[in-house]
Structure 1
Amino acid sequence: MKFLKYKKVVATLILGALAITQVPAYAYETGCDDEENLYVPQPSQPDKECPDINWPSFPKPPVCPEVPEPPTKPEEPKEIKHLPYIVGYEDGTFRAERAVTREEFATMVARLLLEGNEHGDLSSFEDIRPNRYSNAYVGYLESLGIVSGYADGTFRPFDAITKNEAQSMVEKIQQIRKTRKVVTFNSDNTISRAEAVTALNSIFERDCSDAEIQNQFSDLESTHWAYNDILFAAVEHTHIEK
């Protein structure tokens, strides 16, 4: 009997040892007495490589070509009517070489600035009659500070304008108009009607080479050096603005 009992004890010990060896070494105690609820972490398994799979391919969205912007419509040429700012004489002549007076030059400048509009202010100069054709034009330039008279309160409208006097007016016009073209008079001599219109056409950019202008003056030859400038200044015409 003792031998059988001893044999059972040995068998029990052997079975217990075998059970202990089957428990992983990294098991940890949870403090729970319930063996069924004992958590034993499992070793992590290496990631399996994904097998090659023929995934369905989807067509790429079509690339829409850029639509060019419609071309801008070119601006239509603009017609401009140019009014004369100098006139000829009653006998049909222009007298291109005649000297320009102070009132004539002031009148030409004022007409170009006004562009056909009227100005009601009369000049303050005592030697220009209120009903004189040049009075309002001189008064307009006086209000702009372009002309000034003499210390005695006169304007001396019938005196020939000198190049220095004309240059002084031109510089003030340039300040008002911010013109790009500069015209200079280099001496103190008087200026002719042809010189005056050539200078003013340049300052006011009155280039009307595209206009068809008929010569109305009996003493103006087509070979005259200022032929076109005289017609641009003295004859009403329509100009195509570029």
Structure 2
Amino acid sequence: MRITCRAQGGGFISPTVTIDNAAGGKVTVDNNSATSGTKVTITVTPDAGYTLDKLSITDDKGNVINYTDLGNGTYTYVQPSGSVKINAAFKALDKAPASAADTGVSKLLNTMEHLAYLSGYEDGTFRSDGSITRAEVAQMFYNLLKNQDVNTSGMQFADVPENAWYAKAVNTLASLGIINGYEDGTFAPNKAITRAEFTIIAVSFSNKAAGNKSFTDVSNTHWAYSSIATSAEYGWVNGYPDGAFEPDKTITRAESATIVNRMLNRQPDKKAIDASTSIKVFKDLSSGYWAYYDIMEATNAHHYEKSNGKEIWVP
């Protein structure tokens, strides 16, 4: 699909921005009327089962325009004096997420009812690119437990007060052997969790099938290699376009929602979400954000049915 944007204002016609959207995703820009020297932000949103393969930006003479990768599907470039062409190519992921029944996730987690397992903040934001804490991760998975009535007697971390909002979730998951604390008896509930740590927790809900997926920065001697390889084998994680996984990088709230949806085999119904006037929205989240639909899936309880392997939201 080709989208040509030409905006008028200030007595002149701004340069044209032409976007070639190939099958497998879409590309949007935050400023269709950018003048020369203005920074333009591009948002790339792959469809479910796809990832960005190549992104190129050229001017009206065919010269390549350099861009900066900001991560999480956003890029910036400086608008030249002439027109710009943006081309994105997508490719299918190595494998679709495995069935929650096959991975064993459905034994403990509710994969049938599509309840809201994440929420935003009191100020109306979701903070998609913000980190997620160990306490928040515990609460998220606790929300999804089929059986929350677990004996937690004797389970107490030194830094988890009994009246803390996350205490029940932390102690329940610890009693189930899903999460662990540190050698000094603490849990560090307010510590931002890394991609490796999150993956270990996610895989703890599964049958832990062996995987052999390799990433450039995760050797087979890495302390989290087994869980990362298993998560890739299940189709939950794919790493970054450069082949890295970045295990020590803190995971974002958007990334967490995306991975959990894959674990649960939950697929956002984009048409229903775009058409709905009653879904929960967040003032800092737009539909052009790369994980917008996964976040809507995670934060809005809904009824659904499956048709040809796709999820369709129903009233």
Of 134, 137, 152, which aligns to 1:121? 152
Q: In 2, Cα distance between the equivalents of 1:191 and 1:139?
A: 22
Cα RMSD, aligned residues only: 2.6
Task: For residue 175 of structure 1, report the CA deviation from its aligned partner.
Answer: 2.0
Aligned residue identity for 1:217 = F
Q: In 1, Cα distance between the equivalents of 2:195 and 2:203?
A: 12
If asked which structure has higher relative contact order (CA below 8 Å, sep 6+), I would say 1
**Structure 2 residue 176 is matched with structure 1 residue 111:** no
Aligned residue identity for 1:200 = V
**Structure 2 residue 227 is matched with structure 1 residue 227:** no
Aligned residue identity for 1:202 = R
| Unpaired runs of at least 5, structure 2 | 1-111, 210-229, 240-244, 308-315
Task: For residue 150 of structure 1, report the CA deviation from its aligned partner.
Answer: 0.4
Of 175, 184, 191, which aligns to 1:152? 184
Q: In 2, Cα distance between the equivalents of 1:119 and 1:208?
A: 31
| Unpaired runs of at least 5, structure 1 | 1-79
Task: For residue 190 of structure 1, report the CA deviation from its aligned partner.
Answer: 0.2
Task: For residue 166 of structure 1, report the CA deviation from its aligned partner.
Answer: 0.9
Residue 280 of structure 2 contacts residue 299 of structure 2 at CA under 8 Å; is this kept in 1?
no
Counting helix residues as a fraction of each chain, which structure ranks higher? 1
Residue 193 of structure 1: aligned partner: 253
Aligned residue identity for 1:220 = L
- Helix, strand or coil for the counterpart of 2:204? helix
Residue 70 of structure 1: aligned partner: none
Residue 127 of structure 2: aligned partner: 95
Indicate how the Cα distance of structure 1 residues 118 and 176 shifts in structure 2: closer, same or farther if over 3 A, else same. Answer: farther
Aligned residue identity for 1:219 = D
Task: Name the TM-score, length of structure 1 as normaliser.
Answer: 0.60
Task: For residue 129 of structure 1, report the CA deviation from its aligned partner.
Answer: 1.2
Of 269, 278, 281, which aligns to 1:216? 281
Structure with bigger gyration radius: 1
Task: For residue 197 of structure 1, report the CA deviation from its aligned partner.
Answer: 0.4
Residue 134 of structure 2 contacts residue 192 of structure 2 at CA under 8 Å; is this kept in 1?
yes
**Structure 2 residue 214 is matched with structure 1 residue 182:** no
Cα offsets for 1:183-203 (capped at 9, x unmatched): 246221101000000011101
Residue 312 of structure 2: aligned partner: none
Task: Name the TM-score, length of structure 2 as normaliser.
Answer: 0.47
Residue 120 of structure 1 contacts residue 136 of structure 1 at CA under 8 Å; is this kept in 2?
no
Q: In 1, Cα distance between the equivalents of 2:161 and 2:257?
A: 26
Counting strand residues as a fraction of each chain, which structure ranks higher? 2
Task: For residue 81 of structure 1, report the CA deviation from its aligned partner.
Answer: 4.3
Residue 163 of structure 2: aligned partner: 131
Residue 204 of structure 1: aligned partner: 264
Q: In 1, Cα distance between the equivalents of 2:198 and 2:294?
A: 18
Cα offsets for 1:41-84 (capped at 9, x unmatched): xxxxxxxxxxxxxxxxxxxxxxxxxxxxxxxxxxxxxxx64221
Indicate how the Cα distance of structure 1 residues 144 and 81 shifts in structure 2: closer, same or farther if over 3 A, else same. Answer: closer
Residue 103 of structure 1 contacts residue 157 of structure 1 at CA under 8 Å; is this kept in 2?
yes
Residue 5 of structure 1: aligned partner: none
Residue 26 of structure 2: aligned partner: none
Aligned residue identity for 2:250 = T
Q: In 1, Cα distance between the equivalents of 2:166 and 2:185?
A: 17
- Helix, strand or coil for the counterpart of 1:175? coil
Residue 88 of structure 1 contacts residue 217 of structure 1 at CA under 8 Å; is this kept in 2?
yes
Aligned residue identity for 1:98 = G
Task: For residue 120 of structure 1, report the CA deviation from its aligned partner.
Answer: 6.3
Q: Runs in 1 of length 4+ with deviation above 6 angstroms?
A: 176-180
Q: In 1, Cα distance between the equivalents of 2:297 and 2:124?
A: 17
